Chains A and B, each alone.
Chain A
Amino acid sequence: MPFDFSFVRADLSGRDCLPIELSEVGVAKGGRALIDDLNLSIGSGRRTVLMGPNGAGKSLTLRLLQGAIAPDKGVVTAGGRPLDASNRKRIGLVLQRPILLRRSVRANLDHALRAQRVAASARRDQIEELLTLAGLEHRADAPARGLSGGEQQRLSIVRALAAEPDVLLLDEPTASLDPHATQSIERLIDQTTEAGVKVVLVTHDCGQARRLADEVLFLHQGRLAEHTPAATFFKNPVSEPARAYLAGRLVL
């Protein structure tokens, strides 16, 4: 599918991704540590997959990386500076369950572009490009909440891309989708990566992780258990929890 993605990463060539780092980060709720002394950095590799059993803190980590949640302890930096409004703008986050506005597909994108202070004249073209990218040209005027699950997720992803982020964080984008819809999302992720956007993805689906990951971060009980290239992770995981997880033994 040929498309012009130039507006998203016009100055893409040769530019480094925005590195994001968590240092000694902790999050607690009701006296229980959900994330404890977590250190990790996102930067190397085009696509990072965040894996781990339920309750390992994957979704929470994703939110910490975007600044949607502030840590109780530790520091989150992006591009070497603590997260603030200006560098947060360069990090997109797509929640597991798409929360679309009760408007048309087009109006959802228009709203996102307006939030980025894009001028009206430029918005029209960008909406068309995002619609093409999502494969939703024919659904442009349909109510967003009437779309199928896969279409909603694609819209949700291109909406995040409207902000022209350097890094896109995706929380289990295909969790409740059928194989066909999953395929369309993965294709969209490929296109996003090709356009030079660094993707960080949470998934439970090992097949998907194998298909997409350049590197894997494995979380266990709120800590980073392993950070290895994808090839190494799936062939020869270093940590015991990761080995147990891949063997289907580790549930929690």
Chain B
Amino acid sequence: MQDFTQAFGEAFSLVAAGDAELFGIVSLSLRVTLTALVIACLIGLPLGAVLAATRFPGRRGLSVLASALMGLPPVVVGLLVYMMLSSAGPLGPLQLLYTPTAMIIAQAVLVTPIVVALTQQVIETLHAEYDEQLRIMGLSKLETLSTLLWEARFSLVTVALAGFGRAVAEVGAVMIVGGNIAHATRVMTTAIALETSKGELALALALGLILLAISLAVNAAAMTLRRSAHAAAAVA
């Protein structure tokens, strides 16, 4: 129990002191995760919508694949990305290993299937409701997809939050491809893993509490946004 009290104390004093190193770690975490999330959404939202609202050969297979990939262990993703980006790998010449870009790639790979699968689910429900009306209006396939995505915007906020949660909490992949290098690629989760391995359990827990607070703040902000927009649109 002593560790807990100590952890809260340390978390508080770290934040209160405006610790520059902590600030760097937190901002890198957010930058990496949010960039990965934007990429995952740019790929995942349209793809999920296509899987939900169109029929083409291989659609079922893709959809099963996306669901299956949701369960991919981060370490495996880390390894795959490492093997791609390693100097000995096919993308070695880009020299991206041990950079935030590598971490962004790994997290985007990790999060995209989640965005695809959940978007598909959300859009399928909406599509059942809107399909006839949109066909009557003579919308093109592209217009139908963009209309459905915009109509689903409130639910898609939740989808994005699920992706954010997976990415920001993930340690295995960013550890391998980022290398947990101080002041370069150290993020909240790898810092927590490091402090744990140094036996600095209270400090590790303190960082965990800060990560939790950030995650809460992001979720609260998104939910508030969602609720107010929701109320404004008075969704039935």
Contacts and interface: CB of A to CB of B under 8 A. Distances in A.
B137 A99 contact: no
A59 B74 CA distance: 52
Interface string A49-88: 0000000000000000010100000000000000001001
Nearest to A69: B132
A115 B235 CA distance: 22
Interface string A72-115: 00000000000001001100110100010111100000011001
A115 B132 contact: no
Contacts, number: 44
Interface SS, B side: helix
B138 A163 contact: yes
Nearest to A103: B233
A189 B233 CA distance: 28
B1 interface: no
A145 interface: yes
Nearest to A93: B136
B138 A145 contact: no
Interface string A146-164: 1000000000000010010
B139 interface: yes
B234 A146 contact: yes
A145 B133 contact: no
A143 interface: yes
Contacts of B236: 145
Given A68-B132, A99-B133, A145 B139 contact: no
Contacts of B133: 95, 99
A99 B137 CA distance: 11
Given A95-B132, A99-B130, A111-B147, A89 B234 contact: no
Interface residues of B, number: 19
Interface centre among B132, B135, B137, B139, by most chain A C-beta atoms within 10 angstroms, is B137
A102 B233 contact: yes
Contacts of A112: 137
Contacts of B154: 102
B234 A68 contact: no
A104 to B, nearest CB: 8
Interface in B141-157: 143, 147, 150-151, 154
A115 B143 contact: yes
B136 A89 contact: no
Contacts of A146: 234
B34 to A, nearest CB: 26
Contacts of B130: 99
A102 B151 contact: yes
B233 A115 contact: no
Interface centre among A66, A85, A88, A115, by most chain B C-beta atoms within 10 angstroms, is A115
A104 B138 CA distance: 21
A95 B136 contact: yes
A202 to B, nearest CB: 15
A68 B136 contact: yes
Nearest to A86: B138
Contacts of B17: none
A102 B137 contact: no
A137 B96 CA distance: 57
B16 interface: no
Nearest to B138: A89
Given A99-B129, A101-B151, A102-B151, A143 B234 contact: yes
B139 to A, nearest CB: 5
Nearest to B152: A102
Contacts of B235: 102, 143, 145
A101 B150 CA distance: 9
Interface of B: 129-130, 132-133, 135-139, 143, 147, 150-151, 154, 232-236
Given A143-B234, A163-B138, 11 more contacts: A68-B135, A85-B138, A95-B133, A99-B130, A101-B151, A102-B154, A103-B150, A115-B137, A115-B138, A115-B139, A163-B137
6 contacts: A68-B132, A99-B130, A99-B132, A102-B233, A104-B233, A145-B235
| A-B residue pairs, 10 tightest by C-beta | A146-B234, A143-B234, A99-B133, A145-B236, A143-B233, A102-B233, A93-B136, A102-B235, A115-B137, A145-B234
